[in-house]
Amino acid sequence: METAVVWFRDDLRVEDNLTLADAVSAAETVVPLYVFDPRRRRESQYGPDKMGSHRGQFRRESVDDLRESLQDRGGELVVREGLVEDVVPSVVEGVDADAVFAQTKPATEEVEREHAVRDALPGTVDFQRRFTHTLHHLNDLPTPYDRIDDTFTPWRKEVEQGASVRDPVPAPERVSTPQVDPGVIPSLDDLGFDTPPHDDRSVLPFEGGETAGQDRLQHYLWEADRLREYKSTRNGMLGPDYSSKFSPWLAAGCLSPRWIHREVKRYEDERVSNEDTYWLLFELRWRDFFQFQFLKHGGNFFTPTGIRNVEREWKHDRAAFRQWAAGETGVPFIDANMRELNETGYMSNRGRQNVASFLVDALGIDWRWGAAYFEERLIDYDVASNWGNWAYQAGVGNDSRDGFFNVLSQAERYDGDAEYVHTWLPELQALPTEYAHRPWRMDADEESSYDVVLGVDYSEPMIDVEARFVELQETRY
């Protein structure tokens, strides 16, 4: 084979990238290609945009880092803007390519784009797909994906006992790219994004790219040596090292889960092997589970009744949704988490569970609106993880239980000293812990003494939240 085009998608790395490695092995010259498709940024059918400025910046940085990595190997990354089904065939024609190598992903829009590109190619061009986004390869599952269990625990046990993890594929030593106009990586303004806000309270600066992702792993595992306590600290709310924070680089494909798996195993050999080290691999399998569930159920994950066909009367109250999204519910733990998300593009796992439960359980608002808002705002948005987890919390996904999070008791458990609330709601900093999570319990004299008047300095609660959780407790159990 003389020339192959490598269409990069959510696999913005050179280490353990089978798509790139196979193309380099098969062809004399390789044209790496990334396309900024405007449909990834447009308004979704639920209202929020499909990508916000935080992830837009992270994506742009990741593409820039990929270009540098390819240049270090003698190659070049060709960058274009436009619809992928127009751009990829155009580049193929321009370089007279014999084949296109591309990552495949298990979600409806991603599959549609893949098919559109394949169908637009000349019949003489070979289209080769590689499955590179998961820890376990699709072909290594003990049970075919269309027959896997819809509950995580039995699936996890089966995989842990009966599926291996493939070794990472080394990065090519050299990538030979023919003469072609590389194009310019568009600026944030060119892509239609404002510069995202910078906030010193952010848990991490989250720089995009494989280099930054590997640096983060090096810090968390080897320099800070925090993996040995991962399970016990992962529900933290503030600071860089209470959890791994690998998710943004995993979502963009800057880090391979198999590469992380290898490093964890090396850590277990050289430092310690315990429940905490196991738990990080446990979380990678949770991520895998949703990827394979999307292969199995496809578009059913986007329906209001979900994959379980659960009928529920969802509200479509835009005013209430806007209060939730803006962090103006009057419930401090919810508002603090939403403000962190809006300002930084990130929120802890504990926070995500609570704000999701508040929207769907306490307010009864269509869970898909929340999932779409996270899609826009999260720097680590991954279609399967995001929509799978939202469906799970809404009771229409993979969990057969009908549970909810009491955000007040959760706040007092995971933010016992109210440090998190005080950090993200500075207007409540004067409040002692007993009122920081339940400011509505103050009387007028206390509001005056703390100089925090509800409805003036901070929002009054949009619902009687304490009564609502009593009602949920009585009706659900």
**SS3 of residue 211 by DSSP:** helix
- Give the H or E element holding residue 6: strand 3-8
103-113 burial: b if 16+ Cβ within 10 Å, else e: bbbbbeebbeb
pLDDT at 401: 64
Strand ranges, E, within 124-175: 126-130
CA within 13 Å, CB half, 468: 19
pLDDT at 399: 76
Task: Determine how many CB atoms are found less than 10 A away from the CB of residue 89.
Answer: 21
pLDDT score of 402 = 67
15 contacts 21 by C-beta, under 8 angstroms: no
pTM metric for this prediction: 0.97
Written as six digits, the tokens of 60 are 């742009």
The model's pLDDT over 54-94, given as tens digits with 9 standing for 90+, comes to 999 999 999 999 999 999 999 999 999 999 999 999 999 99
Query: What angle (nearest 5°) sits at the alpha carbon of residue 283, between those of residues 279 and 287?
Result: 165
Q: What is the pLDDT of residue 350?
A: 97
Known binding-site residue numbers for FAD = 230, 243-247, 283-290, 380-382
Give the chain's end-to-end CA distance (angstroms, integer).
Answer: 63
Which helix H or strand E contains 8, and what residues bound it?
strand 3-8
Q: Indicate the annotated binding residues.
A: 230, 243-247, 283-290, 380-382
Residue 400 is predicted with a pLDDT of: 59
Instruction: Spell out the per-residue pLDDT of the chain, length 477, in tens.
Output: 999 999 999 999 999 999 999 999 999 999 999 999 999 998 999 999 999 999 999 999 999 999 999 999 999 999 999 999 999 999 999 999 999 999 999 889 999 999 999 999 999 999 999 999 999 999 999 999 999 999 999 999 999 999 999 999 999 999 999 999 999 999 999 999 999 999 999 999 999 999 999 999 999 999 999 999 999 999 999 999 999 999 999 999 999 999 999 999 999 999 999 999 999 999 999 999 999 999 999 999 999 999 999 999 999 999 999 999 999 999 999 999 999 999 999 999 999 999 999 999 999 999 999 999 999 999 999 999 999 999 999 999 997 566 899 999 999 999 999 999 999 999 999 999 999 999 999 999 999 999 999 999 999 999 999 999 999 888 865
